[in-house]
Chains A and B, each alone.
Chain A
Amino acid sequence: MWRNSFCCLLVFAACLLDSGCVRREPPADVTLINNAEPETLDPAILSGIPEFRIVMGNLFEGLTRLDPKTARPIPGLAQGWDISPDSCTYTFYLRTNLVWSTGEPLTADDIVWSWLRAASPATASDYAGEFFYLKNGEDFVTGKIKNPALVGVHAVDKFTVRVELTHPTPFFLDLCALPVMSVVPRQTIEKYGDRWLMAQPLPVSGPFELAYWRPNDKVRLKKNPLYWDAANTPSQLIDILPLGSPDTALNLYENGQVDIVLDRTLVPGELLDLLRKRPDFHPFNYLGTYFIRLNVTHKPFDDPRVRRALALAIDKELIVAKITRAGERPAATLVPPWTANYASPPGLGYDPALARTLLAEAGYPGGKGFPRFEYMFDAAAGGGSKIHQDIAIELQQMWRDNLGIQMDLRQVEWKVLLGSYSHLDYETARSSWIGDYNDANTFLDCFTSNNGNNRTGWKNTRYDALISEANGQTDLKKREQLFQQAETLLVHDEMPIIPIFYYAGLNYFDTNRIQGFFQNILDDHPLEYLRKANPKSKAQSSN
């Protein structure tokens, strides 16, 4: 037995020696928690929110970037621009002192090359749809034309880029700030292909370079001294940790091991009513909506009266007060009311009596004869947030009590849920949409008949006509009216979707220690303004 203990001690010693191999590296100035491991940091390919947070405005920049307080587009790589009177031609003037972090000059050709690469079908970008606004953009993305020179973006000279659009697009400057339109290093990509992000050194155009990226461990950013605005970037090293479990996130934050918690899903739902009262809790209105998706090709959801009855029977106030508890607002429309250039029309409220009448009209008085149906939602693996399940449980009871119909819950993995959307393989499902840019179109466009993001089977030519007419308008007021008519059609008359609440975002950080971190509706936090005040107090608190 002593021999065994001795062997154990030996093993222990060996491990402690091995643990010396744990790298001793300088601690970061600021540590943030992101909510998932990024799949890629290639700005043309990425599509998830965790990836956005790391890349957008930090690693790679575009012609514009977003103001951290208002989320409006401000000059990025371009110092200014001219817009033609018909709003269809934009001329961008680049700054003349732009260089990559490795020292090569950055010119208009780089911009054009980056855009064409992102639009190319070979790259398979999820955001290639944003290039549809360019002249010939749609044809190029769908592969109908092969010559990239036909697409409406050209380098007029070394520092000027001209862009031609198919119709006036008031949010085009917002689009230019998206990662898909940011500039990427041509030489590196041509040399290394798919794995260009692992190249050392990696040329970047934004305020931070990629020090290293260890999967499921952390992404470390270090300051890019050659960035055009490097003088205003206070932090040297920033760590971004991927985390899945809200309880671990809370523990790390309380213990002082991390500084900022970025994502709403990383805050334990049950504690929200207490956490909301703390000074380090910073809520903000988020440009996103949580809704129920209905498969209108599937009986009985092909009848708008049934869909409207389902909507009228949901007590959304109860859901946001009892379950989500972060101060969300119940939603009667798809487009959040704080969207720019837009005032929401009224949608449907909570009216169980009217719901019962509608259901009776549709042929199911008191819910009799209404088939049992399934509501699909995704599961969180490993201690993640159970909010979709909790909302589903409440919905089940509401529909049963108010309408007398039986809904069955069906929990599936995230990938399976996405697959069901694409193949229209569901009856009702939970869903959400986060706006890409600050305009109503990002939401309403999804439900046109041929848009891939529709995924409900709902096709309405009047809706399509309203949307395309609105997008041809230069008069913002007229545009707003057309959108309002379209949205009324969507969430009041036809209801292929049932909006539940508008997202409320959360950031957790101590304002005494962290500065330069602002909340805006796009939850965009350019890290370049981030600064830790009183470095001494960090050393004291994070023992």
Chain B
Amino acid sequence: MYFVRRLIFAIPLLLVISSLAFALVHLAPGGPFDRERAPASPEIERNLRAAYHLDEPVWKQYLRFFGLVWDRDADGRWHHAPASFNISYKYRSHRVSDIVGQALPVSMTLGVLAFGFAMCVGLPLGFITAARRGRWPDYAGSFLAILAVCVPGFVVGPLLILIFSIKLHWLPVALWESPAHMILPAIALGLFFSGKIARLFREGLLATVQSEFIAAARAKGLGENRLLLKHAVRIAILPVVSFSGPMLADLLTGSFVIENIFQIPGIGVFFINSALNSDYTVAVDLALLYAILLIVLNLMVDFSYTLLDPRVKYE
């Protein structure tokens, strides 16, 4: 019931987000049709703006975005205007749904792979640094984890390419054509998050180990490693899980930096370019997509809390 209520509440939330995003992109200077060559006549420019309804007040464009506007044509008849959320000002031959349909699966694949990498590296690293706290594996591991968080992504990418593609010739340099092409981008993208996960998991473990139920388990006589594994991990992983929600949302909606460096046809590049080029509809569409993903993922995260930590209950 709680989750159904959250889902229902999400709808007005999405409306608010869409109107905020819509207002924001319309505030930015420069329109989508500023061109390098001047239009041959003012009439042409007027026609262009009128064809895309850019001469209307912003609130009306907003309604048109959702398909809630009826137009009167030359004969005086009313007909329903198609919803403009599917029209891009920059890619005039494509529908936004086509573009997203092609680009989103790519970003999602990359995101899932990066997530997998981050988990597979971050969780063991966090575990080791917590289990061997205060000794050299902790120092080394923590240093590596924090290092991963400190190097900007647009430096990591080219470094990986230089080493693994150009010098060693193990992997291709860029593009997205085969499983081999996916390895470097996934690593470059996941490295930052693996460091964060390692730190969060370590914190979670260290905090959990102090709590009472662990003391109880220790009193029962369990060995240290099994103790940690069986009991602490379930609770300690909660911070990681709650971080996973926004992390996955970020990963799945594409990373501009990685997609730019590796020339991957994902959705991150569309996102940034639409904001920079005043491609209003695409920017709002993608903002909504991000919000929807975030809401769904947060719901899943909250649900997994109930599975992991029996103390958590929702009314």
Contact = CB atoms under 8 A, between A and B. Distances in A.
Q: Decide if A and B touch, CB cutoff 8 A.
A: yes
A270 B115 CA distance: 36
Contact of B40 (A128, A416, A419): A128
Contacts of A124: 39, 44-45, 47-48, 51
Contacts of A414: 276-277
Interface string B5-47: 0000000000000000000000001111011111111011101
B158 to A, nearest CB: 7
B189 interface: no
Nearest to B228: A1
A141 B30 contact: no
Contacts of B120: 5, 8
B113 A1 contact: no
Interface in A252-305: 252, 254-255, 257
B116 interface: yes
Contact of A198 (B93, B172, B257, B273): B93
B48 A8 contact: no
A129 B35 CA distance: 14
Contacts of B179: 16, 19, 22
Contacts of B43: 121, 142-143
A381 B270 CA distance: 13
A415 B30 contact: yes
B99 A215 contact: yes
Interface in A1-18: 1, 4-5, 7-8, 11-12, 14-16, 18
B178 interface: yes
B178 A122 contact: no
Q: Chain B at the A interface: mostly helix, strand, loop or mixed?
A: helix
Given A127-B37, A132-B40, A12 B263 contact: no
A70 interface: no
Given A122-B47, A124-B48, A455-B38, 19 more contacts: A1-B127, A5-B123, A15-B182, A22-B178, A42-B92, A121-B43, A125-B44, A127-B37, A195-B94, A198-B94, A213-B93, A215-B265, A217-B265, A245-B260, A252-B173, A255-B172, A255-B173, A383-B261, A415-B276
A12 B263 CA distance: 22
Q: Considering residues B30, B31, B99, B119, which has the most beta carbons from chain A within 10 angstroms of its beta carbon?
A: B30
Given A22-B178, A543-B169, A1 B102 contact: no
5 contacts: A22-B176, A143-B43, A198-B94, A243-B263, A452-B38
Contacts, number: 190
A48 interface: yes
Q: Considering residues B39, B112, B113, B261, which has the most beta carbons from chain A within 10 angstroms of its beta carbon?
A: B39
Contacts of A128: 39-41, 44
Contacts of A142: 40-41, 43
Interface in A155-208: 194-198
Chain A interface size band reads: 35 or more
Contact of A197 (B37, B93, B166, B175): B93
B90 A1 contact: no
A451 interface: yes
A12 B36 CA distance: 46
A382 interface: yes
Contacts of A451: 38
B299 interface: no
B35 A47 contact: yes
A351 to B, nearest CB: 32
A195 B35 contact: no
B269 interface: yes
A382 B269 CA distance: 10
Contacts of A21: 105
A415 B278 contact: yes
Nearest to B110: A15
Nearest to A542: B172
Contact of B35 (A126, A251, A381, A382): A126
B116 A215 contact: no
A232 interface: no
B173 A217 contact: no
B261 A245 contact: yes
